[in-house]
């Protein structure tokens, strides 16, 4: 009678017998609480501490990210509208600039939430001129197909490409 792998019970479910061990902390775990990772089975505690390492942002980082991304996206759209077709290229550049500026401001702290926060803020910030034109045209002409319709299309293109540019850089 020597086998260490018999009569183990799960660390988290003392009534469940198991032969599995967490390959990081080596505690016995049952199949219900084991998570299969590329390196083997892990217990819930080890999975959690792994994820914590991945999320390093402080709460105010999200606020900073929204503010910086929104302002850069908005100012960028006012700037880019003067360049016709090149607006599309400028949108990509503004996306890179916004991500660079935010990373610098929050000292490279990371979280999976950041990509949604920043993409959303890029979208809203860059759409502010569109709302402005819509409100102006609706009150002036009573239709959105008034004077500003052509520039709305460019603003929308800028918006989509800028948002994609931000999201793409943060996707991992
Ligand atoms: Zn573990
Ligand atoms: Zn268990």
Q: Does residue 148 register a pLDDT over 90?
A: no
* Res. 51: pLDDT tops 60: yes
73: its two tokens: 């996206």
Q: What's residue 112's pLDDT?
A: 85
DSSP class of residue 161 equals: H
At 48 the pLDDT is 87
Ligand 2: centre distance to CA 47 (Å): 14
Q: Over the stretch 17-36, which tens digit does the pLDDT of each residue have?
A: 999 999 999 999 999 999 99
pLDDT at 143: 81
Q: How far is the CA of 27 from the centre of ligand 1 (A)?
A: 6
Give the ligand with the smallest distance to the CA of 40. 1
Residue bearing the bigger pLDDT, 162 or 144: 162
Distance CA 119, CA 137 (A): 28
pLDDT of residue 120: 97
Ligand at minimal distance from the CA of 22 is 1
Which token pair is 3? 């086998």
Instruction: Calculate how far, in angstroms, residue 139's C-alpha sits from the geometric centre of ligand 2.
Output: 64
Report CA(53)–ligand 2 centroid distance (Å). 23
3-state secondary structure 73-93: HHHHHHHHHHHHHHHHHHHHH
Residue 1 has pLDDT above 60, yes or no: no
5, pLDDT greater than 70? no
What average pLDDT does the segment 56-79 reach?
A: 94
State the chain's mean pLDDT as an integer.
Answer: 90
d(CA 38, ligand 2 centre) in Å: 20
């Amino acid at each position: 009678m020597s086998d260490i792998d018999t009569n183990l019970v799960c660390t988290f479910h003392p009534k469940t017998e198991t032969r599995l061990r967490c390959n990081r902390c080596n505690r016995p775990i049952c199949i219900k609480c084991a998570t299969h990772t590329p390196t083997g089975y892990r217990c819930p505690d080890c999975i959690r501490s792994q994820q914590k390492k991945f999320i390093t942002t402080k709460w105010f980082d999200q606020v900073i990210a929204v503010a910086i991304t929104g302002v850069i996206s908005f100012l960028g759209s006012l700037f880019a509208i003067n360049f016709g077709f090149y607006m599309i290229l400028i949108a990509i550049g503004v996306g890179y600039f916004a991500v660079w500026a935010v990373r610098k401001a929050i000292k490279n702290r990371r979280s999976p939430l950041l990509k949604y926060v920043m993409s959303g803020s890029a979208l809203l910030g860059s759409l502010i001129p569109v709302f402005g034109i819509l409100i102006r045209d609706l009150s002036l002409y009573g239709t959105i197909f008034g004077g500003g319709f052509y520039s709305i299309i460019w603003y929308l293109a800028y918006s989509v490409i800028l948002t994609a540019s931000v999201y793409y850089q943060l996707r991992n």
